[in-house]
Structures are given as structure tokens and as C-alpha cells.
Structure 1
Amino acid sequence: MLTVYTEQHRLQHGNAELVDGTLKPCFENPSRADMVLAEVDRAGFERIAPTDHGKAPILAVHRDNYVRFLETFWSRWTAPSRRSKTGRTYDALPLIWPTRCFRQIEPQDIDGQLGYFSMDAGTPVTAGTWPAAYWSAQTALTGADRLLAGERAAFALCRPPGHHAAADVFGGYCFFNNAAIAAQHLRDSGLGRVAILDVDYHHGNGTQQIFYDRADVLFVSIHGDPRTEFPFYLGFADERGAGEGEGCNLNLPLPAGSDVPTWMAALEQACTAIAAFRPDALVVSLGLDTYEGDPISTFKLKTADFHAVGARLARLGLQTLFCLEGGYAVGPIGENAVSVLNGFDGH
């Protein structure tokens, strides 16, 4: 399968994230993409570099003040200020958020903006965040271009991932919503309807927020029940869309520890909904943290099950773009990714 990849992903390499009240090494790190790339090359997939589409397709999904914040953040963070006469050269994590009791107003201060535009303390902003996130989006866009050129499928080896990034919020290791940007690009390039299927263990809250009131993009997500699983505050079954988008959002939350038959039944329900929507293309947020050995997830899929996932998606008969999302069992992540892609291709 055609794979789009760039070394620019290495520029996002955070030192630590806040986990259980302590700073720990980031689960999301360059080794994830390294392992996937190694298996892609071992499988003999064609590999290309992304082309630069500029900021316009990103701005079609993300708000301009948010994009400007990410683009300028590091130069502002490292500039001398009243908090640091020499500037701060370490990674940034937020210290305060505009919660329910606060007004939702964008501050002028960089520390206030850091909280305003973020949803967690597990996603450090680093010196390389902007170029890594920018080129991750370009990776997805280039994959979408290949569908527009007639390819049956493509794999965008995106890193950092994207599905937790909303129109003006980053978090969950995500800065730009690669799948949403690709879906919007397909729409802007003439496709009438696009479906997004998110199979990551964690709900794609950002993708849902971006398309929630639209009827031209169907969003379907299979994920851990948000009553107990990150991101907690979205992903419930009663979230069906709003306005023109009512009925175009389908959440299939599953209890922690769900077994393979339970997950596969949800996939069948998702595929039925996608087929009924009759989209012109499918974008898959390919999270691999449903694997039985993932350190921050609890589903039970094995490598062979991922092959069955790809085979089932192929039966939809849709041009399909796969965008890499989560998956933190680094050793087998590449094998699991290629298992999905080979299943789709019938290998």
C-alpha cells in the first residue's frame, strides 16, 4: 500500500508528560513511527514524501488564532519575559485551564493562552511541535491527494497523531487533526460526502467537535466508555450530531476490557452505518491502542484481529485513507499497522 512519510515527525519529542501526578517519559514518541516505518519497508510498500499544501487546508479546519498560537509559540516562549529574563528553553505544559467557573476568553499572556488552547497536561509543546504537526497534516493531505488521483487506498504515517485536536484545542498528543484536515480537503476537492471511522481506543473528541453540526461528513467512533476512559467528557452514545448534522455522529463506546467479539460487533455496526451514509470516500483514524498489550488501554485485539479489521473495511468498497493515530505498545505497533493494511489489500 502506498505510504506517505516524513522524517519531520522526529521534531516532536517531548521530555515528559504528567501521569498520575508525576512527570514521566512521553508515551507518544518518535519510536512509534520508527517501528511502523520499519514494518512498512519490510512489507515492500511504496513510500513517498508529503508535498506542501501550505496552511490553507489546515485553516479550513482549525481557527486562525489557534494556528497562529502554535506557529509562534516557541519563539514567544523562549523570549525574555517578566517570568524569565533569559527566556524558557524547556518544554511547555499548561498550568491553568478555563474551567466551568471561568470566562472563556483568550488571554494575551502566553501562559494563559497555553491553558486556553489545551485540554490536558500530557501534551508538551516543544521547539519542534509546529514543524512536526504541520508536516503531519501535510502527510495526511498528500494521502488524500492520491485518493483524488484514483488510488484505491493510501496510508498516511502521521505523527504527531491528530484525532483529539479540536478546531482550537490541542491535547491527547494531538495538535492538528490530520484525519479531519484530509476529510475537509476531499470535500473541498469535489467529493460530496466523506465518512470518518475512528478505531482508536480513545474517543476522537476533536474530530467529533469539528464536524458535529454538518451533514456532509459522517463521524463514527469505536472507543472505551468515556465514563472511565480518556478523554472522559465526550464520546457518549447519545451524542448524535446537532442541527444539519443530527444523525451524522455515531459513538460506539465499549466497556474497559471488552473482548474481540464485542469489538468486532461494534465494527460491524460502524460499517453498516457507513454503508448507509453512502460516502464518496472513507478516512480511517487508525489507532492501534486496541491491542491487548497496550500500556494505556484495555481492549484485547491481537495482531491477527487487525488483519480482519482491514479485510472488513475493504468490503465497504470505498476509496480509503488510513491516518495513524495512537498505539503505545511500541514493539508490535508496526506489525499491527501492516496487518490492517494487508487485510485491506487482501494479502
Structure 2
Amino acid sequence: MQIVYSNTHKAHFGQSELVDGAFQPSFECPERAEIILSTLRDNALGKVISPKDFGLAPIVSVHQPSYVDFIRGAWNRWTSEGNSFDMLPLVTPGRSRVNGREPTALAAQHGWFSTDMLTPITNGSWDAAYQSAQVALTAQKLVSNGDRAAYALCRPPGHHAGSAYSGGFCYLNNAAIVAEALRALGANRITILDVDYHHGNGTQDIFYERPDVQFVSLHADPSWEFPFYLGFADEKGAGPGEGYNLNYPLPRGVDWTAWSEPFEAACNAIDGYGPDFLVLSLGVDTFGGDPLSSFRLVSDDFKKIGERLKRLRRPTIFIQEGGYAVGDIGKNVFNVLSAFEG
């Protein structure tokens, strides 16, 4: 399995994540990707390659151009006003007071295009997010050209980013960009399976009314866990997309026994859908030692995930999402990929 990686991600590291009323450096740190890469190299999983540049077209096929323009230019606008610290939204539009007009002022735009104060814009955010999308697209190209699977070591992650908003450490939705690129190449049906601890609200939002991209997610129940407002079991898609969105919200403290039952149901649903390609949003923050998780999977459980995914027998693009137990993240990712490889 080839591994696609760009060191451009190192330029992005938010120092101003707001957690429990205090600012701190983000859990989504460069060390995450570096440890994954080192572990995969040490275990000779496969060749590490650099991404190709597919330009902006695949990105704006998923994300609104005005949102992309904002993310691209926000830092320069911010610093031109005399600021040098991380950019976080000052205001967000209240639900009862939005008139539908997209604002033009920098502070207003940032609130318009953001969902939280966990996702700062820094000097390197656009370059890192852009290259993260190119990493995903390069892995997609490998699989489109005949590879059985490829792994995109994406950082920053993407599954919380909607067509016109950032959030949850995410700026561009790498899994959605890949799915849309596969459709553009002629694939009839794509499944995005999200096994991250947190619901992929951005991915669901993008494809909620479409039958050509099935979205399946196992995650912590949003009634008490981020992202809170999407990810409930009764969200099944709308219009032509009804029935193609499947959520499996889970309670606190689930271990492999409790997690594997809905995982098996998800895999059976994927088989029933019959996708041409599987896009796997690979979060390993279901690990029991993760600082942002309440689940209790152990490292060997990730081998079982890879083994079950292998039995789906679909060309698969692995997209890195969450996982914040830095000391164990490499081993957990390797266990999924190596088990898939057999």
C-alpha cells in the first residue's frame, strides 16, 4: 500500500484552541502525522510518495468558492490589520437573525464560515489544508488507476468541514473531495465510511440529499459529544438521498464488544449498497487512551477493523482523520492498514 504524505502540514499548528474557557495549543498537532509516518516507515508498510497537484477545481467542486477564497486570503487580511496571533471567530450569526446575505467584513466572514473556536486560521493553515486535499486526491488517483488501496496521511483532517464552513480542526473535507473526484471519473456509487470517534458532520451535510454517495458513520452520541448538532440515528438523508445516510451514535465507554456490533451492521449496509469505491475516514480517536474520547478500544482492536474492511473487497482510499493519543497513534493506524493488507 502506497502512503501519500506532504510535510507542508508542519506549517500549521494552532496555538489558540479554546478548551474549557482557556486557550491552549491544539490537540491537532504536527507530531501526529510525524509519528504515523515514522511508524509506517519503520514497519515497511509501503512506499511513501509526495502528492501531485490537482489544483483548485476538485476543491471547489465540493466547497463554495467564496468559502475557499476566504480561507485562502484570511491570514493576509488579518495580518494587514496589524494582528500576529491566531485568528479565531469573534462573532457567529444567530439563527434568528441571519438574512442570507454573505458578509464582507473580515470578522463577520470568519464567523459566517466557522462553527467553533477549535479551528484557528494561522499563517500555514491554507497551505496545509490545500496540500492535505492534494494528498487525498493523489491516493484517490492511485486507486482509480488500479491499486487495491492507498493511504492518504492527511493533516489537517477534513470530515467536520462542510461546503462553506470550517470546524473541528478541519478546513477542507478531504473525504468528500475524493468522493466527488471519483464520481467525476465515472464511478456510479461511492461509500464514505467514517469510523472516527466524532461524527463527520461536514461529510453528512455535503451528501445528505444525494443517492450516489452513501455516508455511514459510527461515533459518540451527539446529544453529549461534539459536533452536537448532527449525527443522530434518525438522520437518514433527504429527497433523493433518503436512505443513504446511516448514523450509529454510541454511548460513553464502549469497548470492542459494544463497538463491533454496529460496525458489522455498517459493513453489511455497505455490501447492500454495492459501491464501486470505499472511502474510509480513518479516525483512531476511539482508542481508550485518547484525550478527546470516551471510548475504550485497544490497539489490537484496530487490527480487527482492518481485517473486516478487507472482507468488503472494495478498492479503498484511507483518509486520515482524528486520533490524538500521540504516543499510540502510529501503532493504531498501522494496525488498521497492515491488517487490511493481510
**So what's the TM-score if we normalise by structure 1?**
0.97
Q: 1:236 — aligned with what?
A: 232
Q: Distance in 2 between matches of 1:229 and 1:105?
A: 31
Shift of 1:266: 1.1
Residues 1:266 and 2:267 aligned together: no
Residue of structure 1 aligned with 2:291, choices 287, 290, 295: 295
Q: Distance in 1 between matches of 2:140 and 2:129?
A: 17
Q: 2:63 — aligned with what?
A: 62
Residue by residue, what CA displacement relative to the aligned partner does 1:200-225 show, whole Å, maximum 9, x if unpaired? Answer: 00000000000000000000000000
Q: 2:15 — aligned with what?
A: 15
Q: Distance in 2 between matches of 1:53 and 1:108?
A: 29
For the 8 Å contact 2:87–2:122, the answer to whether it is kept is yes
Where do 5+ consecutive residues of structure 2 fail to align? none
Q: How does 1:314-333 map to 2 (within 5 A)?
A: 314-333=310-329
For the 8 Å contact 2:75–2:87, the answer to whether it is kept is no
Q: 2:127 — aligned with what?
A: 131
Q: How does 1:304-343 map to 2 (within 5 A)?
A: 304-343=300-339
Q: 1:96 — aligned with what?
A: 91
Among all aligned residue pairs of Structure 1 and Structure 2, give the percentage whose two residues are the same amino acid: 54
Give the residue type in structure 2 aligned to 1:112. Answer: A
Shift of 1:105: 3.1
Q: How does 1:118-267 map to 2 (within 5 A)?
A: 118-267=114-263
Kindly report the root-mean-square deviation, in angstroms, between the aligned alpha carbons of the 2 structures: 0.7
Shift of 1:259: 1.7
Residues 1:48 and 2:49 aligned together: yes
Shift of 1:100: 1.5
Residue by residue, what CA displacement relative to the aligned partner does 1:90-132 show, whole Å, maximum 9, x if unpaired? Answer: 1101121112122143211100111110000011100101100
Give the residue type in structure 1 aligned to 2:36. Answer: V
Residue by residue, what CA displacement relative to the aligned partner does 1:236-283 show, whole Å, maximum 9, x if unpaired? Answer: 000000110000000000001112111111110110110000000000
Residues 1:111 and 2:111 aligned together: no
Moved more, 220-229 or 101-110: 101-110
Q: Aligned to 2:96, what secondary structure does the other structure show?
A: coil
Q: Aligned to 2:58, what secondary structure does the other structure show?
A: helix
For the 8 Å contact 2:75–2:123, the answer to whether it is kept is yes
Give the residue type in structure 2 aligned to 1:312. Answer: R
Q: Distance in 1 between matches of 2:236 and 2:115?
A: 22
Q: Distance in 1 between matches of 2:147 and 2:337?
A: 14
Q: Aligned to 1:88, what secondary structure does the other structure show?
A: coil
Q: Distance in 2 between matches of 1:102 and 1:298?
A: 36
Structure 1 residue ranges (4+ consecutive) displaced by more than 2 angstroms after TM superposition: none
Q: Distance in 1 between matches of 2:37 and 2:101?
A: 42
Residue by residue, what CA displacement relative to the aligned partner does 1:66-101 show, whole Å, maximum 9, x if unpaired? Answer: 000011111111113xxxxxx211110112111212
